[in-house]
Amino acid sequence: MDISSVKALTFDVFGTVVDWRSAVLREGRALGKQKGLSVDWVEFADAWRAGYEPFMQRVRTGELPWTNIDALHRMILDELLVRFQIAGLSEAEKEHLNRVWRRLDPWPDVREGLARLRRRFLVAPLSNGNIALLTHMAKRADLRWDCILSSELARRYKPDAEVYLTAARLLGLRPQQIMMVAAHNADLLAAKAVGFRAAFVYRTREYGPSQTTDLAPDPAVDIVARDFAELADIMA
Amino acid sequence: MDISSVKALTFDVFGTVVDWRSAVLREGRALGKQKGLSVDWVEFADAWRAGYEPFMQRVRTGELPWTNIDALHRMILDELLVRFQIAGLSEAEKEHLNRVWRRLDPWPDVREGLARLRRRFLVAPLSNGNIALLTHMAKRADLRWDCILSSELARRYKPDAEVYLTAARLLGLRPQQIMMVAAHNADLLAAKAVGFRAAFVYRTREYGPSQTTDLAPDPAVDIVARDFAELADIMA
């Protein structure tokens, strides 16, 4: 692929940039210990993440009005607290737990790879996470984006085309000048459908040791990289 | 003023963070020399800036559909090229000149003051400049914002209330938790009208040595600072 026309890289975040599962597990376990709870936190973390797609679907279909991810995460959490019989949390404790999604750590290759890519390209998240979530996450994790882009700015969720097109409009670029970077084929194929380039990065442990999805790139993607270091090598 | 509830600072950019006049003068003069043009670049720079408010007003009234600042700057520039009899520029040269607004330098106190403020608060521009413009400017000038906010996200121009309210919504904060920082009273009063706090920073040479506006803060503002260093002192 000729990358000379690429001016900006937009990144999926949950799973691609940050390891959501480890942080949710870590904070869940710490809370469980502190509160004397008996909860399977692996199951809890996976259930929280699994709730995300059906809730976004309720927004897509109009069953819910536009609702950002902070609020969707909270709606899912409130169900999980019942299901996992987690009682005795104050409102402030629930809200703190909900904001664990702002306290996710990047995969070990991210900071340096991103810094290298940033020398040549505009770099921005393009996540279903909302602006406030992504901003707090970047600040805490010291991720140096050039700007923060989010599905929230289109008031639609990926993989809806409007999300990618809104990002291109805000960056003042044609879709062909932007490369979407993700560990998820569906995101990349949707980006490609509106003209973006697509780079697949392997994150085969995002869902833990028994992950079954996105273990390999779709043949349609333009670039495949083992991690952000290799992506920076390829794009150098 | 009790600042303990303030979580984020949003900044006016043109004039408050960056010195637009010097850069437009500098690049205009260089272009004039290169092209052998006889133009009063002081008058040109001031006329370009002066065109900004009436053009935004045409968007506000609906005479123009939503048009971002990159595009408004270009419409004004095209008029000025005729008025100042600047001929012989290629389309690429015109577009490069138009993007001088992405190549503005911060006032000397900005970088360090901003870095200090950023330790305690979320910091973001909230400018009539569009996202692409602000992103390129920040990257070139090494301004480390936590995220980039713009009137463009509300598709309205300051001082319309929707701009400030959209910023608050995207930051996930109440207006009372945000302080607008500007060298312009109109911007601060509009922010205050929707509940923001307001900090006036003196920029009495923004319009050159004979500036007549915004030489002193409106009595309604919450904080007055000589520059970003003093603002960081006050907010420490």
pLDDT above 90 for A2: no
What is the tens place of the pLDDT at every residue in A11-69? 999 999 999 999 999 999 999 999 999 999 999 999 999 999 999 999 999 999 999 99
Residues of A whose CB is below 8 A from B171:
131-132, 135
> Residue A1: which pLDDT band, with cuts at 50, 70 and 90?
confident
Which secondary structure element, helix H or strand E, spans residue A224, and what is its range?
A: strand A223-225
Q: What is the pLDDT of residue B164?
A: 98
Q: What is the mean pLDDT of residues A223-230?
A: 98
Domain assignment present for residue B49? The answer is yes
Joined tokens for residue B231: 């603002």
Domain assignment present for residue B91? The answer is yes
> Residue A3: which pLDDT band, with cuts at 50, 70 and 90?
confident
Which of B122, B127, B147 would you mutate first to test chain A, the one with the most A CBs within 10 A?
B147
- What is the rounded distance in angstroms from the CA atom of residue B45 to the CA atom of residue A222? 44
- CA B156 vs CA A228, B23, B25, B65, B229: distances in Å: 37, 26, 29, 10, 31
B94 and B152, same domain (yes or no): no
pLDDT above 80 for B2: no
pLDDT above 90 for A91: yes
Domain assignment present for residue A1? The answer is no
Q: Residue B65, CB half-sphere, CA atoms under 13 Å: how many? A: 0
Closest CA in chain B for residue A119: B139
The CATH code of the domain that includes B146 is 3.40.50.1000
What is the tens place of the pLDDT at every residue in B16-65? 999 999 999 999 999 999 999 999 999 999 999 999 999 999 999 999 99
Domain assignment present for residue A28? The answer is yes
Q: Do B131 and A70 touch (CB under 8 A)?
A: no
A129 and A150, same domain (yes or no): yes
Q: What is the pLDDT of residue A219?
A: 97
A129 and A209, same domain (yes or no): yes
Distance from CA of B39 to the nearest CA of A (A): 30
A173 and A113, same domain (yes or no): yes
Of A80, A102, A124, which one is at a domain's C-terminal end?
Answer: A102
> Residue B1: which pLDDT band, with cuts at 50, 70 and 90?
confident
Domain assignment present for residue A59? The answer is yes
Q: Write the DSSP symbol of residue A160.
A: S
B223 and B151, same domain (yes or no): yes
Domain assignment present for residue B3? The answer is no
Of B54, B86, B102, which one is at a domain's C-terminal end?
Answer: B102
Of A81, A102, A123, which one is at a domain's C-terminal end?
Answer: A102
pLDDT above 80 for A205: yes
Q: What is the pLDDT of residue B232?
A: 98
B225 pairs with which residues across the strands?
Answer: B201
Distance from CA of A73 to the nearest CA of B (A): 14
What is the tens place of the pLDDT at every residue in B171-216? 999 999 999 999 999 999 999 999 999 999 999 999 999 899 999 9
B127 and B202, same domain (yes or no): yes
Which of A74, A147, A155, A169 would you mutate first to test chain B, the one with the most B CBs within 10 A?
A147
Global pTM value: 0.97
Which secondary structure element, helix H or strand E, spans residue A77, and what is its range?
A: helix A69-83
* Virtual torsion, Cα B23, B29, B34, B37, nearest 10 deg: 140
Distance from CA of B153 to the nearest CA of A (A): 7
pLDDT above 80 for A109: yes
Contact predicate B15/B203, CB 8 Å:
yes
B62 and B136, same domain (yes or no): no
Q: How many domains does chain A have?
A: 2
The CATH code of the domain that includes A46 is 1.10.150.240
Domain assignment present for residue B78? The answer is yes
Q: What is the pLDDT of residue A202?
A: 98
B37 and B86, same domain (yes or no): yes
Q: Do B135 and A147 touch (CB under 8 A)?
A: yes
A159 and A229, same domain (yes or no): yes
Q: Do B130 and A170 touch (CB under 8 A)?
A: yes
B126 and B220, same domain (yes or no): yes
A177 and A222, same domain (yes or no): yes
- Looking at every residue in chain A, the average pLDDT score rounds to 97
B48 and B30, same domain (yes or no): yes
Q: What is the mean pLDDT of residues A156-181?
A: 98
Q: Do A131 and B70 touch (CB under 8 A)?
A: no
Contacts of B151 (CB under 8 A, 6+ apart): B126, B127, B128, B129, B130, B157, B158, B160, B163
Q: What is the pLDDT of residue B183?
A: 98
Joined tokens for residue B154: 């509300």
Q: What is the pLDDT of residue B3?
A: 83
Closest CA in chain A for residue B129: A170
Q: Do B147 and A134 touch (CB under 8 A)?
A: yes
Give burial (CB, 10 Å; 0-12/13-18/19+) of A36.
exposed
B223 pairs with which residues across the strands?
Answer: B199
* Mode of pairing for the β-strands spanning A18-19 and A105-106: antiparallel
Which residues in B have their CB inside 8 Å of a CB on A? 70, 122, 124, 130-136, 138-139, 144, 146-148, 152-153, 170-173
Q: Is the dihedral of CA A25, A26, A30, A33 positive or negative?
A: positive
What is the tens place of the pLDDT at every residue in B98-147? 999 999 999 999 999 999 999 999 999 999 999 999 999 999 999 999 99
Domain assignment present for residue B1? The answer is no
Query: ipTM of the predicted structure?
Result: 0.96
Range of the domain at A175: 8-17+107-234
